[in-house]
Structure 1
Amino acid sequence: MATKRNKYIMKHGDVIDIEEYHDGNYGAKGIKRTPKKKLTKEDVQKVNDQNKTKKCRQRLLQYFSFGDCFATWTYGMKNRPPTMEEALKDFQKAIGKVRAQYKKRGQELFWIRNIERGTKGGWHIHLVVNEIGDTASILQKAWKKGGTWFTEIRKSKFYDEDFTKLANYMTKSERTVELKVDGTQAKPRIKEASYNISRNMPLPEPEKQTLVHWPKEPKPKKGYYIAKIHEGINPVTGYSYRRYTLIRLGKDLEENKNRKQRFRKKRRRKREQI
Protein backbone atom coordinates (compact mmCIF):
# COMPACT_ATOMS: atom_id res chain seq x y z
CA MET A 1 0.00 0.00 0.00
CA ALA A 2 1.19 3.47 -0.82
CA THR A 3 -0.43 5.63 1.81
CA LYS A 4 1.59 6.17 4.99
CA ARG A 5 0.94 7.83 8.32
CA ASN A 6 3.45 8.91 10.95
CA LYS A 7 2.04 9.62 14.40
CA TYR A 8 4.12 11.50 17.01
CA ILE A 9 2.85 11.15 20.59
CA MET A 10 3.77 14.23 22.64
CA LYS A 11 3.17 15.76 26.07
CA HIS A 12 2.17 12.44 27.64
CA GLY A 13 -0.40 11.84 24.90
CA ASP A 14 -2.16 15.19 25.23
CA VAL A 15 -0.76 16.24 21.82
CA ILE A 16 -0.55 14.01 18.73
CA ASP A 17 1.19 15.30 15.60
CA ILE A 18 0.27 13.42 12.42
CA GLU A 19 1.76 13.25 8.91
CA GLU A 20 0.00 11.51 6.02
CA TYR A 21 1.67 11.04 2.64
CA HIS A 22 2.00 8.80 -0.40
CA ASP A 23 5.07 6.64 -0.81
CA GLY A 24 6.62 7.75 -4.10
CA ASN A 25 8.33 4.38 -4.54
CA TYR A 26 5.03 2.61 -5.13
CA GLY A 27 2.61 5.23 -6.38
CA ALA A 28 -0.94 5.68 -5.24
CA LYS A 29 -3.92 4.28 -7.11
CA GLY A 30 -6.49 6.90 -8.01
CA ILE A 31 -4.33 9.80 -6.76
CA LYS A 32 -3.29 12.51 -9.20
CA ARG A 33 0.37 13.36 -9.24
CA THR A 34 2.22 16.44 -10.41
CA PRO A 35 5.04 15.76 -12.90
CA LYS A 36 8.16 14.59 -11.11
CA LYS A 37 11.29 16.56 -11.92
CA LYS A 38 14.97 16.13 -11.29
CA LEU A 39 15.82 17.86 -8.03
CA THR A 40 18.08 20.89 -8.14
CA LYS A 41 20.29 22.09 -5.28
CA GLU A 42 17.60 24.64 -4.54
CA ASP A 43 14.97 21.89 -4.29
CA VAL A 44 17.14 19.87 -1.90
CA GLN A 45 17.77 22.97 0.22
CA LYS A 46 14.03 23.68 0.31
CA VAL A 47 13.33 20.15 1.58
CA ASN A 48 16.06 20.52 4.23
CA ASP A 49 14.59 23.87 5.33
CA GLN A 50 11.13 22.31 5.60
CA ASN A 51 12.51 19.49 7.76
CA LYS A 52 14.27 22.00 10.00
CA THR A 53 11.04 23.94 10.50
CA LYS A 54 9.09 20.72 11.11
CA LYS A 55 11.47 19.61 13.88
CA CYS A 56 11.44 23.09 15.40
CA ARG A 57 7.63 23.05 15.52
CA GLN A 58 7.58 19.57 17.08
CA ARG A 59 10.08 20.59 19.73
CA LEU A 60 7.92 23.60 20.53
CA LEU A 61 4.96 21.24 20.92
CA GLN A 62 6.90 18.80 23.09
CA TYR A 63 8.95 21.07 25.35
CA PHE A 64 7.23 24.46 25.43
CA SER A 65 3.89 25.98 26.34
CA PHE A 66 2.16 29.22 25.37
CA GLY A 67 3.18 30.84 28.67
CA ASP A 68 6.87 30.36 27.93
CA CYS A 69 9.12 33.23 26.92
CA PHE A 70 9.72 34.55 23.41
CA ALA A 71 12.64 36.99 23.60
CA THR A 72 15.01 38.98 21.43
CA TRP A 73 18.51 40.05 22.34
CA THR A 74 19.54 43.13 20.35
CA TYR A 75 22.97 44.66 19.78
CA GLY A 76 23.94 48.23 20.51
CA MET A 77 25.62 49.93 17.53
CA LYS A 78 29.08 49.81 19.14
CA ASN A 79 28.72 46.14 20.10
CA ARG A 80 27.81 44.71 16.71
CA PRO A 81 29.92 41.62 15.97
CA PRO A 82 32.07 41.61 12.81
CA THR A 83 31.22 37.98 11.98
CA MET A 84 28.72 35.23 12.76
CA GLU A 85 31.49 33.41 14.62
CA GLU A 86 31.76 36.32 17.07
CA ALA A 87 27.98 36.48 17.43
CA LEU A 88 27.95 32.77 18.30
CA LYS A 89 30.53 33.43 21.03
CA ASP A 90 28.36 36.23 22.42
CA PHE A 91 25.36 33.90 22.53
CA GLN A 92 27.27 31.03 24.13
CA LYS A 93 28.56 33.31 26.87
CA ALA A 94 25.11 34.74 27.60
CA ILE A 95 23.21 31.44 27.47
CA GLY A 96 25.84 29.96 29.80
CA LYS A 97 24.88 32.58 32.38
CA VAL A 98 21.19 31.80 31.88
CA ARG A 99 21.83 28.06 32.30
CA ALA A 100 23.75 28.69 35.52
CA GLN A 101 20.82 30.64 36.98
CA TYR A 102 18.36 27.90 36.01
CA LYS A 103 20.59 25.28 37.61
CA LYS A 104 20.84 27.43 40.75
CA ARG A 105 17.04 27.34 40.95
CA GLY A 106 16.88 23.59 40.33
CA GLN A 107 15.40 24.02 36.85
CA GLU A 108 16.33 22.58 33.48
CA LEU A 109 16.88 25.05 30.62
CA PHE A 110 15.35 24.50 27.18
CA TRP A 111 16.08 26.94 24.39
CA ILE A 112 15.69 27.49 20.65
CA ARG A 113 17.48 30.39 19.01
CA ASN A 114 18.16 32.06 15.69
CA ILE A 115 20.96 34.58 15.26
CA GLU A 116 20.19 36.95 12.39
CA ARG A 117 22.28 39.51 10.55
CA GLY A 118 20.13 41.95 8.59
CA THR A 119 20.85 43.22 5.10
CA LYS A 120 21.49 46.66 6.62
CA GLY A 121 24.11 45.38 9.07
CA GLY A 122 22.03 45.01 12.24
CA TRP A 123 22.26 41.91 14.44
CA HIS A 124 19.79 40.30 16.84
CA ILE A 125 19.06 36.93 18.44
CA HIS A 126 15.54 35.50 18.64
CA LEU A 127 15.15 33.12 21.56
CA VAL A 128 12.46 30.82 22.93
CA VAL A 129 13.07 29.80 26.57
CA ASN A 130 11.00 27.87 29.10
CA GLU A 131 9.57 30.19 31.76
CA ILE A 132 10.50 29.52 35.41
CA GLY A 133 9.06 32.61 37.09
CA ASP A 134 11.85 35.17 36.76
CA THR A 135 13.09 34.28 33.27
CA ALA A 136 12.81 37.85 31.97
CA SER A 137 15.12 39.14 34.71
CA ILE A 138 17.61 36.33 34.09
CA LEU A 139 17.70 37.08 30.35
CA GLN A 140 18.21 40.80 30.93
CA LYS A 141 21.09 40.30 33.35
CA ALA A 142 22.79 37.75 31.09
CA TRP A 143 22.88 39.95 27.97
CA LYS A 144 25.39 42.82 28.03
CA LYS A 145 25.58 43.68 24.32
CA GLY A 146 22.34 45.62 23.99
CA GLY A 147 18.67 45.43 24.88
CA THR A 148 16.37 42.54 25.81
CA TRP A 149 12.80 42.34 24.55
CA PHE A 150 10.45 39.61 25.77
CA THR A 151 6.85 38.49 25.97
CA GLU A 152 4.82 35.32 26.48
CA ILE A 153 4.41 33.21 23.35
CA ARG A 154 0.61 33.51 23.66
CA LYS A 155 0.90 37.33 23.59
CA SER A 156 3.17 37.47 20.54
CA LYS A 157 1.99 37.85 16.94
CA PHE A 158 3.40 34.39 16.24
CA TYR A 159 0.93 32.54 18.47
CA ASP A 160 -1.13 29.70 17.01
CA GLU A 161 -2.26 26.38 18.45
CA ASP A 162 0.21 24.12 16.64
CA PHE A 163 3.22 26.50 16.79
CA THR A 164 3.46 26.78 12.99
CA LYS A 165 3.90 30.57 12.94
CA LEU A 166 6.57 30.57 15.63
CA ALA A 167 8.49 27.69 14.04
CA ASN A 168 8.51 29.49 10.68
CA TYR A 169 9.76 32.65 12.33
CA MET A 170 12.46 30.93 14.38
CA THR A 171 13.91 29.11 11.35
CA LYS A 172 14.12 32.10 8.98
CA SER A 173 17.27 32.41 6.89
CA GLU A 174 18.66 34.35 3.95
CA ARG A 175 16.60 31.98 1.75
CA THR A 176 13.29 32.93 3.36
CA VAL A 177 10.92 34.61 0.91
CA GLU A 178 8.46 37.04 2.45
CA LEU A 179 5.41 38.32 0.58
CA LYS A 180 3.92 41.81 0.55
CA VAL A 181 0.22 42.46 1.09
CA ASP A 182 -0.31 42.45 -2.70
CA GLY A 183 1.30 39.00 -3.01
CA THR A 184 4.58 40.11 -4.59
CA GLN A 185 7.94 39.16 -3.09
CA ALA A 186 9.49 41.56 -0.61
CA LYS A 187 13.19 42.37 -0.63
CA PRO A 188 15.36 40.03 1.49
CA ARG A 189 15.81 41.25 5.08
CA ILE A 190 18.32 38.66 6.33
CA LYS A 191 21.89 38.43 5.06
CA GLU A 192 22.81 35.38 7.16
CA ALA A 193 21.35 33.35 10.01
CA SER A 194 22.33 30.60 12.45
CA TYR A 195 19.65 28.35 13.97
CA ASN A 196 20.27 25.99 16.87
CA ILE A 197 18.65 24.33 19.90
CA SER A 198 19.69 23.07 23.32
CA ARG A 199 20.80 19.43 23.23
CA ASN A 200 18.33 18.17 25.84
CA MET A 201 15.31 18.09 23.51
CA PRO A 202 15.10 14.73 21.71
CA LEU A 203 11.99 14.07 19.64
CA PRO A 204 9.89 10.91 19.98
CA GLU A 205 10.08 8.30 17.23
CA PRO A 206 6.87 8.19 15.20
CA GLU A 207 4.39 5.34 15.25
CA LYS A 208 4.26 4.27 11.58
CA GLN A 209 1.12 3.02 9.92
CA THR A 210 0.17 1.86 6.43
CA LEU A 211 -3.33 2.93 5.39
CA VAL A 212 -5.70 1.18 3.02
CA HIS A 213 -6.54 4.42 1.22
CA TRP A 214 -5.89 8.16 1.36
CA PRO A 215 -8.36 9.70 3.86
CA LYS A 216 -10.43 12.38 2.14
CA GLU A 217 -10.73 14.27 5.41
CA PRO A 218 -8.91 13.70 8.71
CA LYS A 219 -11.13 12.81 11.64
CA PRO A 220 -10.22 13.62 15.24
CA LYS A 221 -9.59 10.79 17.64
CA LYS A 222 -12.23 10.48 20.37
CA GLY A 223 -11.48 12.97 23.14
CA TYR A 224 -9.34 15.21 20.86
CA TYR A 225 -9.86 18.11 18.46
CA ILE A 226 -7.88 19.05 15.36
CA ALA A 227 -5.95 22.26 15.96
CA LYS A 228 -5.03 22.90 12.33
CA ILE A 229 -4.68 21.06 8.99
CA HIS A 230 -1.87 21.78 6.50
CA GLU A 231 -1.79 20.29 3.00
CA GLY A 232 0.63 20.58 0.08
CA ILE A 233 2.67 18.82 -2.61
CA ASN A 234 5.91 16.98 -1.83
CA PRO A 235 8.53 18.33 -4.30
CA VAL A 236 10.38 14.99 -4.28
CA THR A 237 7.50 12.55 -4.97
CA GLY A 238 5.07 14.93 -6.64
CA TYR A 239 2.26 13.60 -4.42
CA SER A 240 0.09 15.48 -1.95
CA TYR A 241 0.78 15.32 1.78
CA ARG A 242 -1.06 16.40 4.89
CA ARG A 243 -0.19 17.16 8.48
CA TYR A 244 -2.35 18.07 11.44
CA THR A 245 -2.17 18.28 15.21
CA LEU A 246 -4.61 16.72 17.66
CA ILE A 247 -5.00 18.22 21.14
CA ARG A 248 -6.84 16.46 23.94
CA LEU A 249 -10.13 18.16 24.82
CA GLY A 250 -10.15 20.02 28.12
CA LYS A 251 -6.36 20.01 28.44
CA ASP A 252 -4.37 23.18 28.96
CA LEU A 253 -0.83 22.87 27.57
CA GLU A 254 0.34 24.93 30.55
CA GLU A 255 -1.06 22.25 32.84
CA ASN A 256 0.86 19.61 30.89
CA LYS A 257 4.07 21.59 31.32
CA ASN A 258 3.60 21.82 35.10
CA ARG A 259 2.88 18.10 35.30
CA LYS A 260 6.09 17.36 33.40
CA GLN A 261 8.10 19.56 35.77
CA ARG A 262 6.64 17.76 38.80
CA PHE A 263 7.61 14.43 37.24
CA ARG A 264 11.22 15.61 36.70
CA LYS A 265 11.51 16.84 40.30
CA LYS A 266 10.18 13.52 41.61
CA ARG A 267 12.66 11.61 39.45
CA ARG A 268 15.52 13.87 40.63
CA ARG A 269 14.64 13.22 44.30
CA LYS A 270 14.73 9.47 43.67
CA ARG A 271 18.22 9.77 42.16
CA GLU A 272 19.45 11.71 45.19
CA GLN A 273 18.15 8.99 47.50
CA ILE A 274 20.13 6.28 45.71
Structure 2
Amino acid sequence: MKTKRKTWYLQKKDILYVEENHDGKYGAKGKERLPKRKLTPEDVQRVNAWNKSKRARLRLMEYFSPGDLWVTFTYKPENRPPDMDTAKKQFLKMMDKLRKIYRKKGRVLFWIRNIERGTKGAWHIHCIINDIGNTASLVERAWPYGGVYVTQIRKSKCPEEDFQKLADYITKDEKTREKKQDGTLAKPRLSEANYSHSRNMPLPEPKPEELKRWPKKVKPKKGYYIAELFEGKNPVTGHNYRHYTLIRLYRRI
Protein backbone atom coordinates (compact mmCIF):
# COMPACT_ATOMS: atom_id res chain seq x y z
CA MET A 1 0.00 0.00 0.00
CA LYS A 2 1.37 3.41 -0.95
CA THR A 3 1.77 6.06 1.73
CA LYS A 4 1.60 9.70 0.77
CA ARG A 5 2.78 12.76 2.65
CA LYS A 6 2.03 16.41 1.88
CA THR A 7 3.87 19.23 3.65
CA TRP A 8 2.91 22.90 3.64
CA TYR A 9 5.82 25.22 4.44
CA LEU A 10 4.42 28.29 6.19
CA GLN A 11 5.84 31.48 7.70
CA LYS A 12 9.15 30.99 5.83
CA LYS A 13 9.37 27.41 7.16
CA ASP A 14 8.80 28.44 10.79
CA ILE A 15 5.61 26.33 10.65
CA LEU A 16 5.16 23.00 8.85
CA TYR A 17 1.73 21.47 8.39
CA VAL A 18 1.87 17.79 7.39
CA GLU A 19 -0.74 15.28 6.19
CA GLU A 20 -0.01 11.55 5.83
CA ASN A 21 -2.42 8.97 4.44
CA HIS A 22 -2.66 5.69 2.60
CA ASP A 23 -3.48 5.79 -1.08
CA GLY A 24 -7.04 4.47 -1.32
CA LYS A 25 -6.34 3.10 -4.81
CA TYR A 26 -4.32 0.26 -3.33
CA GLY A 27 -5.00 -2.51 -0.87
CA ALA A 28 -2.54 -3.96 1.62
CA LYS A 29 0.31 -6.07 0.25
CA GLY A 30 -1.04 -9.33 -1.14
CA LYS A 31 -4.66 -8.20 -0.84
CA GLU A 32 -7.16 -6.83 -3.31
CA ARG A 33 -8.16 -3.19 -3.33
CA LEU A 34 -10.64 -2.40 -0.60
CA PRO A 35 -14.19 -1.59 -1.75
CA LYS A 36 -15.20 1.96 -1.03
CA ARG A 37 -18.29 2.70 1.01
CA LYS A 38 -20.76 5.09 -0.59
CA LEU A 39 -20.62 8.57 0.91
CA THR A 40 -23.66 9.59 2.92
CA PRO A 41 -24.89 13.22 3.04
CA GLU A 42 -23.41 13.38 6.56
CA ASP A 43 -20.03 12.19 5.20
CA VAL A 44 -20.10 14.88 2.50
CA GLN A 45 -21.02 17.59 5.00
CA ARG A 46 -18.25 16.47 7.37
CA VAL A 47 -15.61 16.40 4.61
CA ASN A 48 -16.67 19.81 3.30
CA ALA A 49 -16.54 21.31 6.81
CA TRP A 50 -13.10 19.79 7.40
CA ASN A 51 -11.67 21.11 4.11
CA LYS A 52 -13.12 24.57 4.78
CA SER A 53 -11.60 24.62 8.27
CA LYS A 54 -8.24 23.33 6.97
CA ARG A 55 -7.94 26.10 4.38
CA ALA A 56 -8.81 28.69 7.04
CA ARG A 57 -6.26 27.18 9.40
CA LEU A 58 -3.49 27.25 6.78
CA ARG A 59 -4.21 30.93 6.14
CA LEU A 60 -4.20 31.64 9.86
CA MET A 61 -0.81 29.95 10.25
CA GLU A 62 0.63 31.71 7.20
CA TYR A 63 -0.62 35.26 7.71
CA PHE A 64 -1.37 35.69 11.42
CA SER A 65 0.26 35.29 14.83
CA PRO A 66 -1.27 34.68 18.30
CA GLY A 67 -0.72 38.38 19.01
CA ASP A 68 -3.10 39.47 16.24
CA LEU A 69 -6.71 40.38 16.96
CA TRP A 70 -9.93 38.41 17.40
CA VAL A 71 -12.78 40.90 16.93
CA THR A 72 -16.55 40.50 17.28
CA PHE A 73 -18.81 43.13 15.72
CA THR A 74 -22.39 43.23 17.00
CA TYR A 75 -25.54 45.02 15.89
CA LYS A 76 -28.00 47.03 17.92
CA PRO A 77 -31.52 45.62 17.31
CA GLU A 78 -32.53 48.71 15.33
CA ASN A 79 -29.42 48.40 13.11
CA ARG A 80 -29.75 44.74 12.16
CA PRO A 81 -29.28 44.18 8.41
CA PRO A 82 -32.30 42.97 6.42
CA ASP A 83 -30.25 40.26 4.68
CA MET A 84 -26.78 38.75 4.26
CA ASP A 85 -25.89 40.87 1.22
CA THR A 86 -26.38 44.04 3.27
CA ALA A 87 -24.20 42.69 6.09
CA LYS A 88 -21.43 41.81 3.61
CA LYS A 89 -21.51 45.30 2.09
CA GLN A 90 -21.35 46.90 5.56
CA PHE A 91 -18.34 44.81 6.47
CA LEU A 92 -16.49 45.52 3.21
CA LYS A 93 -17.13 49.26 3.58
CA MET A 94 -15.45 49.16 6.98
CA MET A 95 -12.52 47.11 5.65
CA ASP A 96 -12.02 49.60 2.81
CA LYS A 97 -11.51 52.33 5.43
CA LEU A 98 -9.03 50.20 7.35
CA ARG A 99 -7.13 49.21 4.21
CA LYS A 100 -6.50 52.87 3.34
CA ILE A 101 -5.17 53.54 6.85
CA TYR A 102 -2.90 50.46 6.69
CA ARG A 103 -1.62 51.53 3.28
CA LYS A 104 -0.70 55.00 4.54
CA LYS A 105 1.38 53.33 7.26
CA GLY A 106 3.08 51.06 4.74
CA ARG A 107 1.30 47.94 6.02
CA VAL A 108 -0.90 45.30 4.40
CA LEU A 109 -4.33 44.41 5.82
CA PHE A 110 -5.25 40.73 6.23
CA TRP A 111 -8.62 39.54 7.52
CA ILE A 112 -10.73 36.41 7.87
CA ARG A 113 -14.36 36.71 8.91
CA ASN A 114 -17.64 34.90 9.41
CA ILE A 115 -20.97 36.75 9.34
CA GLU A 116 -23.52 34.92 11.47
CA ARG A 117 -27.26 35.24 12.06
CA GLY A 118 -28.52 33.37 15.08
CA THR A 119 -31.69 31.30 15.20
CA LYS A 120 -33.37 34.13 17.16
CA GLY A 121 -32.52 36.77 14.56
CA ALA A 122 -29.48 38.51 16.10
CA TRP A 123 -26.51 39.25 13.82
CA HIS A 124 -22.79 39.45 14.58
CA ILE A 125 -19.47 39.15 12.76
CA HIS A 126 -16.41 37.28 14.02
CA CYS A 127 -13.19 38.52 12.45
CA ILE A 128 -9.42 37.97 12.70
CA ILE A 129 -7.33 41.01 11.74
CA ASN A 130 -3.56 41.49 11.74
CA ASP A 131 -2.62 44.11 14.33
CA ILE A 132 -0.44 47.14 13.51
CA GLY A 133 -0.42 48.58 17.02
CA ASN A 134 -3.59 50.67 17.12
CA THR A 135 -5.93 48.38 15.17
CA ALA A 136 -8.25 47.90 18.17
CA SER A 137 -9.10 51.60 18.32
CA LEU A 138 -9.39 51.79 14.52
CA VAL A 139 -12.04 49.05 14.29
CA GLU A 140 -14.00 50.49 17.21
CA ARG A 141 -14.28 53.84 15.44
CA ALA A 142 -15.04 52.27 12.05
CA TRP A 143 -18.10 50.21 13.11
CA PRO A 144 -21.26 52.36 13.58
CA TYR A 145 -23.86 49.59 13.93
CA GLY A 146 -23.28 48.28 17.46
CA GLY A 147 -20.60 47.09 19.87
CA VAL A 148 -17.04 45.98 19.09
CA TYR A 149 -15.26 43.42 21.30
CA VAL A 150 -11.51 43.01 20.77
CA THR A 151 -8.91 40.67 22.25
CA GLN A 152 -5.67 39.08 21.13
CA ILE A 153 -5.98 35.58 19.68
CA ARG A 154 -3.75 34.18 22.43
CA LYS A 155 -6.09 35.64 25.08
CA SER A 156 -9.27 34.35 23.43
CA LYS A 157 -11.00 31.01 23.98
CA CYS A 158 -9.00 29.65 21.01
CA PRO A 159 -5.39 30.41 22.02
CA GLU A 160 -3.58 27.46 20.40
CA GLU A 161 -0.54 28.21 18.22
CA ASP A 162 -1.75 25.80 15.53
CA PHE A 163 -5.13 27.64 15.27
CA GLN A 164 -7.23 24.45 14.99
CA LYS A 165 -10.06 25.54 17.31
CA LEU A 166 -10.04 29.05 15.89
CA ALA A 167 -10.36 27.72 12.32
CA ASP A 168 -13.28 25.49 13.33
CA TYR A 169 -14.98 28.38 15.09
CA ILE A 170 -14.54 30.95 12.31
CA THR A 171 -15.91 28.55 9.65
CA LYS A 172 -19.02 27.27 11.46
CA ASP A 173 -22.35 27.56 9.66
CA GLU A 174 -26.03 26.64 9.90
CA LYS A 175 -25.16 22.93 9.64
CA THR A 176 -22.69 23.00 12.55
CA ARG A 177 -23.88 21.10 15.61
CA GLU A 178 -21.86 21.10 18.81
CA LYS A 179 -21.48 17.99 20.96
CA LYS A 180 -23.18 18.12 24.35
CA GLN A 181 -21.70 16.61 27.51
CA ASP A 182 -23.75 13.43 27.05
CA GLY A 183 -22.31 12.93 23.57
CA THR A 184 -25.46 13.88 21.64
CA LEU A 185 -25.53 16.71 19.11
CA ALA A 186 -27.09 20.03 20.03
CA LYS A 187 -29.38 21.92 17.67
CA PRO A 188 -27.69 24.33 15.25
CA ARG A 189 -27.19 27.79 16.78
CA LEU A 190 -27.06 29.61 13.45
CA SER A 191 -29.74 30.08 10.83
CA GLU A 192 -27.34 31.60 8.31
CA ALA A 193 -23.58 32.19 7.95
CA ASN A 194 -21.10 33.49 5.39
CA TYR A 195 -17.35 32.85 5.60
CA SER A 196 -14.77 34.86 3.65
CA HIS A 197 -11.24 36.31 3.75
CA SER A 198 -9.26 39.08 2.09
CA ARG A 199 -8.13 38.23 -1.42
CA ASN A 200 -4.44 38.93 -0.76
CA MET A 201 -3.88 35.64 1.10
CA PRO A 202 -2.86 32.92 -1.38
CA LEU A 203 -1.74 29.58 0.02
CA PRO A 204 1.53 27.89 -0.97
CA GLU A 205 1.31 24.57 -2.75
CA PRO A 206 2.21 21.58 -0.56
CA LYS A 207 5.30 19.49 -1.26
CA PRO A 208 4.23 15.88 -2.04
CA GLU A 209 6.27 12.80 -1.08
CA GLU A 210 5.80 9.06 -1.48
CA LEU A 211 6.92 7.05 1.56
CA LYS A 212 8.06 3.43 1.53
CA ARG A 213 6.03 2.55 4.61
CA TRP A 214 3.56 4.01 7.09
CA PRO A 215 5.53 5.72 9.90
CA LYS A 216 4.39 4.21 13.20
CA LYS A 217 5.48 7.30 15.10
CA VAL A 218 5.79 10.95 14.23
CA LYS A 219 9.27 12.29 14.91
CA PRO A 220 9.70 16.07 14.83
CA LYS A 221 12.35 17.47 12.55
CA LYS A 222 15.45 18.80 14.26
CA GLY A 223 14.78 22.27 15.63
CA TYR A 224 10.97 21.83 15.69
CA TYR A 225 8.37 20.66 18.21
CA ILE A 226 4.99 19.03 17.60
CA ALA A 227 2.29 21.60 18.35
CA GLU A 228 -0.60 19.33 17.33
CA LEU A 229 -1.07 15.73 16.22
CA PHE A 230 -4.25 13.97 15.13
CA GLU A 231 -4.52 10.33 14.01
CA GLY A 232 -7.65 8.63 12.79
CA LYS A 233 -9.19 6.17 10.37
CA ASN A 234 -10.93 7.21 7.18
CA PRO A 235 -14.59 6.13 7.59
CA VAL A 236 -14.96 5.55 3.85
CA THR A 237 -11.74 3.64 2.98
CA GLY A 238 -10.89 2.29 6.44
CA HIS A 239 -7.27 3.47 6.04
CA ASN A 240 -5.24 5.27 8.70
CA TYR A 241 -4.44 8.95 8.29
CA ARG A 242 -2.86 11.69 10.37
CA HIS A 243 -2.06 15.37 10.29
CA TYR A 244 0.26 17.35 12.50
CA THR A 245 1.84 20.76 12.93
CA LEU A 246 5.53 21.40 13.59
CA ILE A 247 6.71 24.79 14.87
CA ARG A 248 10.30 25.96 14.96
CA LEU A 249 11.72 26.07 18.49
CA TYR A 250 13.39 29.43 17.98
CA ARG A 251 11.29 31.32 15.48
CA ARG A 252 12.69 34.26 13.57
CA ILE A 253 11.09 37.58 14.53
- Shift of the alpha carbon at 1:46? 2.2
Taking the TM superposition and a 5 Å limit, the aligned residue runs for 1:123-202 are: 123-202=123-202
Amino acid corresponding to residue 187 of structure 1 in structure 2? K
Match of 2:74 in 1: 74
Taking the TM superposition and a 5 Å limit, the aligned residue runs for 1:223-242 are: 223-242=223-242
User: SS of 2:12's equivalent?
Assistant: helix
Structure 1, unaligned runs of 5 or more = 256-274
Match of 2:211 in 1: 211
- Shift of the alpha carbon at 1:93? 1.1
Taking the TM superposition and a 5 Å limit, the aligned residue runs for 1:19-98 are: 19-29=19-29, 36-98=36-98
User: SS of 2:51's equivalent?
Assistant: helix
Q: State the 4+ residue runs in structure 1 displaced beyond 4 angstroms.
A: none
- Shift of the alpha carbon at 1:41? 3.7
- Shift of the alpha carbon at 1:235? 4.0
Amino acid corresponding to residue 192 of structure 2 in structure 1? E
Task: String of CA shifts for 1:237-263, please: whole Å, max 9, x gaps.
Answer: 3322100011111227xx2xxxxxxxx
**Structure 2 Cα separation of the partners of residues 28 and 137 of structure 1:** 58
Structure 2, unaligned runs of 5 or more = none
User: SS of 2:232's equivalent?
Assistant: strand
User: SS of 1:65's equivalent?
Assistant: coil
Amino acid corresponding to residue 201 of structure 1 in structure 2? M
Match of 1:267 in 2: none
**Structure 2 Cα separation of the partners of residues 175 and 71 of structure 1:** 23
**Structure 2 Cα separation of the partners of residues 214 and 64 of structure 1:** 32
**Structure 2 Cα separation of the partners of residues 142 and 30 of structure 1:** 65
Task: Check the 8 A contact 1:102/1:108 in 2, yes or no.
Answer: yes
In structure 2, the CA distance between the partners of 1:195 and 1:28, relative to structure 1 (3 Å rule), is: farther
What is the TM-score with the length of structure 1 in the denominator?
Answer: 0.87
- Shift of the alpha carbon at 1:225? 0.8
Task: Check the 8 A contact 1:117/1:124 in 2, yes or no.
Answer: yes
- Shift of the alpha carbon at 1:12? 1.0
Length, aligned pairs only = 252
**Structure 2 Cα separation of the partners of residues 202 and 29 of structure 1:** 39
User: SS of 1:95's equivalent?
Assistant: helix
Please tell me whether residue 247 in structure 1 is matched to residue 247 in structure 2: yes
Amino acid corresponding to residue 154 of structure 2 in structure 1? R
Match of 1:8 in 2: 8
Identical residues among aligned pairs (%): 59
User: SS of 1:13's equivalent?
Assistant: coil
**Structure 2 Cα separation of the partners of residues 83 and 106 of structure 1:** 35
Amino acid corresponding to residue 229 of structure 1 in structure 2? L
What is the TM-score with the length of structure 2 in the denominator?
Answer: 0.94
Taking the TM superposition and a 5 Å limit, the aligned residue runs for 1:255-270 are: 255=253
Please tell me whether residue 101 in structure 1 is matched to residue 101 in structure 2: yes
- Shift of the alpha carbon at 1:177? 1.4
Task: Check the 8 A contact 2:26/2:34 in 1, yes or no.
Answer: no
Task: String of CA shifts for 1:104-137, please: whole Å, max 9, x gaps.
Answer: 2211000000000000101000000000000001
- Shift of the alpha carbon at 1:35? 7.1
Task: Check the 8 A contact 1:116/1:192 in 2, yes or no.
Answer: yes
Match of 1:266 in 2: none
Task: String of CA shifts for 1:213-245, please: whole Å, max 9, x gaps.
Answer: 111111001111111101223344332210001
Task: Check the 8 A contact 2:27/2:34 in 1, yes or no.
Answer: no
**Structure 2 Cα separation of the partners of residues 60 and 16 of structure 1:** 13
Match of 1:261 in 2: none
